[in-house]
Structure 1
Amino acid sequence: MTTITKEWLQQTIAEFENTRDDIPFGLSDNDAKVLIVLKRALASLTAEPVRYLNKFSGTCVTLEQQPNASDDVAVYMPLYAAPPASERERIRREHAEWSDKTFGDVGPVGPLKHLSKEALETAAEPDDLSEWADMQFLLWDAQRRAGISDEQITLAMVEKLAVNKKREWPEPKNGEPRLHIKEQPVPVVPDEWTIQDAVKFCRETGRQDAGSAMEAWNACRAAMLQGVEPVSNHDELALYYLQGQKDGLEWAAQLAEANHPLTGDWLYDDPLELAKAIRKGPDMPGFAGSSPVTPDGWISCSERMPAQDDWVLIYSKYGEYLAGQVQGEYVELNDGTLSWLGAALHWMPLPEPPQEVNRG
């Protein structure tokens, strides 16, 4: 039987850390997890027992009272004291107690939405430590209410870091966050919807009106197949966003249901205009030929960002259409939540809301 000693753990941990520091891509996902486990094992071996429990009598003794207790493993079991909580953990525990008493048994959504507001305030005053403290409190609270442990977060970070290191990144520009380069899949024309397709989609996305969803989808598809405002001589249409998968259907439905944030009216209440808007979507890959696809009306965020207080429609890297007003580095949506502007790929100004006419 192999015995794991403190010395072996120390040497193995050192070897893993040297590998991590020397190799350009660091440790693999599995090796990073092994390193975490090894460090925990070492911590348990280096702890000193505070008492020894007699397995037969149930009494506890110290080494002063029973000098051979550490050697007589057949009779005595070592007992260890729990490490004292750090000041950080004490504050974390007290905040959890206060939060439960103040806000009750709620989920993580509330703290996460509040976190986006605090992030804006911190961005405005990055030297204000109280703003950073608020963000940390909210992050703790959301994580706790979601039932996610620190260990789960650590393992997820190990895996995510490995993924990020393997991605291809462009050169940084003016200190802005860099989006990884993602190869787009080959576009395909979607099938026509039946009512069964629409019902399935509504069940998956929580929508109600399957009939309207089917009509809107098929109207958009028909308009595109008929070549409304053609932008390419290629036989295939640039319909990456209309692939028959949930993500593509989700954002198409979002555009169909988009409201003007000031008036609440539909942005596209005419099926043909909706079809044109979807067909001019910003995420359309170009084709080799004489007429590359150019999304009319859309402005690439790599060329120009919207101005402060502008009302805009944005298309994000997550495949979402969002309408709202620019507030610093965020877009404030009509439900009061904030969306990070750095996730936007393209944007366009919203039409001006109708002015009230004073009829005297």
Structure 2
Amino acid sequence: MTSSATVIPVGTSYDVVVGHGVSDRVTDLLSGDVRQVLVVRPQSLARLAAPVVHRLREAGLTVHEAAVPDNEVAKTAQVAAGLWATLGQHAFTRSDAVVAVGGGTVTDLAGFVAATWLRGVAVVHVPTTLLAMVDAAVGGKTGINTAEGKNLVGSFHEPAGVLCDLDALATLPRPDLVAGLAEVVKAGFIADPRILELVEGDLDAATRADGPAMRELVERAIAMKAEVVAADLKESWLREILNYGHTLGHAVEQVEGYHRRHGEAVAIGMTFAAHLAHRAGHLTADAVERHRAILTSVGLPTTYEAGHWDTLATAMQRDKKTRGSVLRFIVLEDIGVPTRLVGPDEALLRAAYDDLCR
């Protein structure tokens, strides 16, 4: 390891390690019984995954690599079946493991495959994007997409550990880094206003991969999520707050065929949720404007094209938080004070959507 690391415990279940050069700790997170490892990575990340593969082989493990498509197109039953076939062909047992190297789509997919192979084998996540570090890799949620919606098929399967190597952030295209900031800012809105203050106080320091505030932002966002999921593994009320902006955000992703970045869709969803909260009498106009100002400042969208409400409303009916035909939204009473809005009137939803489209 090339620098000091911060270890953030997720209850008593596992640790998230944050720092520069920490991916070489991958073998520390595997039990001594592991003999084979399947490294799942996107096709485009062979070079970034190479040090992890080398470290595993150096430890005497048999390593098989599986390259999957980039982005959300990897999260299908067909790709998962291909990974199951690989595990079967190499006779993976319950004492073997999966290591996911990549963004949120890879951690979701590899986690799901690990959860379902022999009813559960160990998985270690090595997230390479900001979005995956602060969100997808932490919490034990796994899943794949179907034509009907995002992450509708999945399982809760906690990883053996997570390695957030901040060196990987320097490899991200600027739009991907910006998209990841949506989940960081979300953490600020729902639980840790200090995150918002860091962004507002020095935008450059907070939005560069090598910016002096980036590590603190990552650690704060992870610590917030770790505290929530440790108290609520399987998404009852407390864990639902992590879905702030996701009800409309997931609908936007589905309607647009998953061509829009997740963070961009969540930014749109958070702006919608802020307008909805304001119209429902929960949130002040100043707080709504703060949403728009912060998200816009980091380069995220806060408006949406008019004319798509009916399609989006249909997609939201398939959201995992929906109960029967009743939509449920996470909204804010104030910055850092989330609550649930259950079954809002259709007219209220349309009005908030109109606000979003202006």
State TM-score, norm by structure 2. Answer: 0.24
Higher strand proportion (structure 1 or 2): 2
Higher relative contact order (CA 8 A, sep 6+): 2
Higher helix proportion (structure 1 or 2): 2
Structure number with bigger Rg: 1
